[in-house]
Amino acid sequence: MDHQQLVKLSKRMSKALRHDPARVGLTLDAGGWVPVDQFLTAMGITRTDLDEVVAGNDKQRYAVRTGPGGVERIRANQGHSVPVDLGLTPQEPPEVLFHGTGAAALPSIQATGLNRGGRHHVHLSPDTATARRVGTRRGGAVAVLTVLAGQMARAGHVFYVSGNGVWLTDEVPPEFIRL
């Protein structure tokens, strides 16, 4: 499968595991997991296709694990708009984290901060390179924001870190953002 096909399949998988599992006939468990065999059938893909997308995804967006009864399962690591409990525990963040976004969003962010929108959390990156890569997904000019995560945590904001190293929080008020 070439790079373009991998990206297209990854986006289809993301939609099914994060936003609309019912569209392909899937039901996620409380933790967002679904048996791999059901997922393959619902998506109409092979195990080789799945493994190639999971291994080749630069954002490490998916987790595949053996669950109860030895059944192999898959889920998205974060970014759900459907209700799931990822089983994350609060973590002490580093002093700064980063958020990549389109430059066109800056006036809104300066006014209201970073909000989760339809997702469960705001996503933050541990480094500027990752934030820049995330920010390019919408096209156009990219802005990388510095988030004063340590100050936020001391002010009572809770942080989590997903299995693929993405930091998550409910919101980032504008006073904790540096452009």
3-76 fold: Arc Repressor Mutant, subunit A (1.10.10)
Mean pLDDT by 10 residues, the chain (179 residues): 88 93 94 94 94 81 86 87 86 97 92 86 93 83 96 97 89 95
| Residue 177 host element (H or E) | strand 177-178
* C-alpha 119: how far from chain center: 9
Architecture in CATH for domain 97-178 = Alpha-Beta Barrel (3.20)
- What is the reported pLDDT for 39? 96
- What is the reported pLDDT for 59? 67
Q: DSSP assignment, residue 125?
A: B
pTM of the model: 0.72
**DSSP labels for 61-120?**
-EEEEE-GGG-EEEEESS--SS---------PPPS-EEEEEEGGGHHHHHHH-EE-TTSS
